[in-house]
Amino acid sequence: MTLDSTDKKILFLLQTDSKKTTKELSLKLNLSVTAVYERIKKLEREGVIDKYVALINRSKAERGFVVFCHLKLIQHTKEFLTKFESEVVKLKEVLECHHVSGDYDYILKIVVKDMEAYREFLVTKLTTLQHIGSTHSTFMISEVKSTTVVDI
């Protein structure tokens, strides 16, 4: 799907505040409410808009301790990769899991309450997964930039 400038503006506005009504969007875009509605529905049908979510303040939800865990598997076979990925997606503390190149096989973004909670997670959940060779944890000191807006 080719996105025109109006589609791009709609996507930017929805990424910054998805609760805006079609009427509010139409006023910003100088389009009719119906035109905006139809464009949004098309973007949803085409899969450009994947889903709508509420972003939670992690600190207020007692999940302000952020860990980036670099992880190596013992082997790089398809079976080991598939098994690990099917298990890691079930861990609610893991917000993101990326298969990467370089010294490690995966980088996980993990959120928990504090260091004690991370130790408990590491000992009782993460290191019990099959095929893990080693882990290396890095703890966030402060968040310099965090956005969900994709520049289109």
| 50 pLDDT more than 90 | yes
| Residues forming a β-bridge with 73 | 132
pLDDT-based confidence at residue 83 (cuts at 50, 70, 90): very high
| Placement of tokens 């909670």 in the chain | 117
pTM of this structure: 0.89
CB 104 within 8 A of CB 72: yes
Place of tokens 């079609």: 22
Mean pLDDT calculated for residue range 32-50: 97
Contact status, residue 88 vs residue 129, Cβ threshold 8 Å: yes
* CA neighbor of 140 nearest in space, from 105, 110, 103, 101: 110
